[in-house]
Amino acid sequence: MPNIQVLDQNTINKIAAGEVIERPASVVKELLENAIDAKATAVTVEIRDGGISFIRVTDNGCGISPDEISLAFLRHSTSKIRTAEDLLLVSSLGFRGEALSSIAAVSQVEVITRISGNLTGTRYQIEGGVQKNQEEIGAPEGTTFLVRNLFYNTPVRKKFLKTAMTEGAHVSDLVEKIALSHPEISIRFIQNNQNKLYTSGNHNLKDIIYTVYGREIAANLLTVQAEREAIAVKGFIGKPVIARSNRNFENYFINGRYIKSNIIGKAIEEAYRPFMMQHKYPFTMLYLEIEPELLDVNIHPTKMELRFQDGESVFRAVRESVTEALMHKELIPQVEPGTEKRRQEDCGTLKQKEKKRLPLPEPFEKQRMAQWKEEHAATRPREGVAEEAAGYLVRESSKTVPSTVPQAVPDTTSPHKQMNLFEERLLEPSSRSRHKLIGQLFDTYWLVEFNDQLYIIDQHAAHEKILYEKTMADLEVRRQTSQMVDPPIVLTLGGREAALLEKYRQIFRDLGFEIEPFGGREYAVRAVPDNLFSLAQRELLTELMDGLSEDMVPGNSSMIYEKVASMSCKAAVKGNHSMSFAEADQLIDQLLKLENPYACPHGRPTIISMSKYELEKKFKRIV
């Protein structure tokens, strides 16, 4: 057996660096968080070659004292905590004392810093964990870190880096996340001498969302503001109409820290499930404030993960807050000709992100705001002026500042975009008397006129949702009644399916099923819930059992309820089925009574709308 010996300090530092510094984005994350902890109000991040050859982070924070600079690069040296007990109350973004030593161990680092009150600053150089130089120089107040040639002394790690474009994209994504988590700090990102992002630090989160994600998302936000027990949840969520095919747009922050959490992610998706199709994910920008003693932020070196003392309370608080925001808005998708094409163009613009985002000097900003209001006052609804003007300034700030003020570019967005929050809702009892039922289209869709909108109702999706909510409500209060099946339906179950059936026999009985052993692996279904009688076929009951064997979690009876309710939807009126006006009226009356009438159980919309404005544009009544 080889002899056991203690590793030298250089090797120890490189191993530690491997835990904290995975790629250039890791360096930027640590330095940006240090700048925020240093009370900076403005930070500039600059990278070249994806951050592999050059990273510069400049802030106007408190700076580092000359006699403490060398200490800052020692392992486990930190100004954030003093004892192990402090870990329970840590509120800063960085606290482990590993970041600077890890960065210096695998790169060439130069620091220029000056603290308030000192006439001169300090320049400090360290390479591969070895101090090279420290000298007094003139410098602005704050700190600048220059990190060159990442992994220059660990070529094995360097060859696992991706291309400069890919690494730069990781840095860009990270800077955007941190900018979104701190709207009070002005953050600029420069990549290969091009301005990629600039935030003003004016505390306005919507401005940053517009800058990062574009107009479509900024125009489809719902406000979240709630407090549950020791947890406060605030921010914005997207309407289901801007759903995405991956979870990349699910953003959430805890005490100002961008993190990933399965608990929060599941809570968000659980709240959206009645509003969204399967395999679609929402846009969220949620900020959670939780007492530090209820969190463990010390479970991972990169601090991207944390542990909750009471995960169930966090799950419940997030789910209820998101559900409440969704339930209080009329979420009927607006049909606009050409929307898909514009959406694809917007996505292309988001991917490129090649616009320069330079700030406007204050006189230009005020002058353009006044000019915009003057030119648009006669043509815009009063309620939307402030929001639209703010959006205009953000768009204009992405351009290079000219020596003269150009004419404002008219916004062609239709007026209903600004009026959505102030219009009456279709599905309100007070609006029912003014619905004008026009007729049925293609034996599937019903047309309703209300105010200046044309609403189109999918009779199958709407009836599905009505039956689903009725079934779920009946299940909750155990109002299910049985109807005998003669002759009984005989099912052949596998070992696991039979075990689950035995385990949850009482739940099935409460639902209205009567299922008895019939010898060997066979079971006889002698009664079913009365609302499923017309669907009582071997295939459907086998599907229910198969689903339970795949998805059932011991002790979770809600899975059975969901599957029974989904089966009841198969009894809904189908498309290509002629309905009378009286039946359509009754369908609308039933929709009014639902908690969420806007989507069927599978997430498809039950109603869409088209404005009179869009119709008149198509008929050239409006040019």
**Contact status, residue 171 vs residue 48, Cβ threshold 8 Å:** no
pLDDT of 419 > 50? The answer is: no
C-beta separation of 549 from 425 below 8 A: no
Q: Could you give the count of Cα atoms lying within 13 Å of 10 in the half-sphere of its Cβ?
A: 7
Are 466 and 587 contacting, i.e. CB atoms less than 8 angstroms apart? Answer: yes
Per-residue confidence at 494, pLDDT binned at 50, 70, 90?
A: confident
Read off the pLDDT of each residue in 454-470 and give the average, rounded to a whole number.
88
Question: Residue 145 pLDDT more than 90?
Answer: yes
Peptide bond into 301 cis (omega under 30): no
Task: Give the pLDDT of residue 410.
Answer: 34
Mean pLDDT of the chain: 77
Q: What pLDDT, on the 0 to 100 scale, is given for residue 533?
A: 67
Where residue 520 falls (left for φ over 0; alpha for ψ -120 to 50; beta otherwise) is left
Residue percentage of the chain with pLDDT more than 70: 70
Q: What is the mean pLDDT of residues 18-41?
A: 88
pLDDT higher at 198 or 403: 198
pLDDT (average), residues 28-42? 92
Neighbours of 184 (CB within 10 A): 13
- DSSP codes, 366-383: HHHHHHHHHHHTTTS-GG
Comparing 244-258, 272-286, 404-418, the range with the smallest average pLDDT is 404-418
| Residue 504 reports pLDDT greater than 80 | no
pLDDT tens per residue across span 271-282 = 998 888 878 899
- Its CATH architecture, for the domain 480-571, is 2-Layer Sandwich (3.30)
Q: Which residue has the higher pLDDT, 393 or 161?
A: 161
- pLDDT at residue 133 above 60? yes
Instruction: Choose the CATH number for 205-327 among 3.40.50.150, 3.30.230.10, 3.40.50.300, 3.20.20.80.
Output: 3.30.230.10
Contact 2, 84 (CB under 8 A): no
| Band of residue 565 on the pLDDT scale cut at 50, 70, 90 | low
Q: What is the CATH number of domain 429-463+575-618?
A: 3.30.1540.20
Q: Exposure pattern of 415-431 as b/e (b: 16+ CB <10 Å)? A: ebbbebeeeeebbeeee
Three-state SS annotation for 201-255:
CCCCHHHHHHHHHCHHHHCCEEEEEEEECCEEEEEEEECHHHCECCHHHEEEEEC
CA distance 189 to 32: 11
SS3 content of the chain, % helix, strand, coil (to 5): 45, 20, 35
Residues 256 and 210: their CA atoms lie apart, in Å, by: 20
Most confident listed range (67-81, 135-149, 496-510): 135-149
Instruction: Give the residue, 78 or 268, on which the prediction is more confident.
Output: 268
pLDDT value of residue 374: 47
The 10 Å Cβ neighbour count of residue 290 is 21
More confident residue, 26 or 475: 26
> What would the two tokens of residue 490 be?
């005989």
User: Tokens 């010898």 sit at which residue?
Assistant: 519
286: left (phi over 0), alpha (psi -120 to 50) or beta: beta
User: How distant is the alpha carbon of residue 163 from its chain centre?
Assistant: 27
Dig out the tokens for 201 from the structure.
């630090």
Tell me the pLDDT tens digit for each residue of 169-178.
999 999 999 9
Which range scores top for mean pLDDT: 303-312, 319-328, 405-414?
319-328
CA trace torsion 204, 206, 211, 216 (10° rounding) = -170
Top mean pLDDT of 96-105, 143-152, 442-451 is at 143-152
Token pair in block for residue 235: 């921010």
Integer Cα distance of 364 and 399 in angstroms: 12
Please report the pLDDT score of residue 78 as a whole number. Answer: 55
For residue 165, give the DSSP letter: H
* pLDDT band, very low/low/confident/very high, at 417 (cuts 50, 70, 90): very low
Position 566 scores a pLDDT of 67
Q: Which of the residue ranges 248-252, 457-461, 511-515, 523-527 would you say has the lowest mean pLDDT?
A: 511-515
Between residues 357 and 371, the one the model is more confident about:
371
SS3 call for 450 = strand
Lowest mean pLDDT among 127-141, 223-237, 352-366, 602-616: 352-366
Give the start-to-end residue ranges of the domains of the chain.
Answer: 9-198, 205-327, 429-463+575-618, 480-571
Q: Report which of 540, 537, 552, 571 is spatially closest to residue 507, judged by C-alpha positions.
A: 552
User: What per-residue confidence (pLDDT) applies to 558?
Assistant: 58
* Lowest-pLDDT range of 158-172, 352-366, 405-419: 405-419
| HEC letters along 514-530 | EEEECCCCEEEEEEEEH
Model confidence at 91, in pLDDT bands (50, 70, 90)?
Answer: very low
Question: pLDDT band at residue 478, thresholds of 50, 70 and 90?
Answer: low
Higher pLDDT, 157 or 1: 157
Residues near 466 by beta carbon (within 8 Å), at least 6 away in sequence? 572, 587, 590, 591, 594
Whether residue 190 has pLDDT greater than 60:
yes
Of the spans 95-104, 324-333, 429-438, which averages the highest pLDDT?
A: 429-438
Q: Check pLDDT > 60 for residue 103.
A: yes
Give the C-alpha separation, 415 to 514, whole Å. 58
Q: Determine how many CB atoms are found less than 10 A away from the CB of residue 14.
A: 20
What does residue 192 show for φ and ψ, rounded to 5 degrees? 50, 45
For CA atoms 181, 183, 186, 191, give the dihedral sign.
Answer: positive
Domain with residues 9-198, CATH architecture: 2-Layer Sandwich (3.30)
Instruction: Say what the pLDDT of residue 299 is.
Output: 47
Per the omega criterion (within 30 degrees of 0), is the bond before 402 cis? no
How far is the C-alpha of 23 from the C-alpha of 168, rounded, in Å? 10
345 vs 201: which has the higher pLDDT: 201
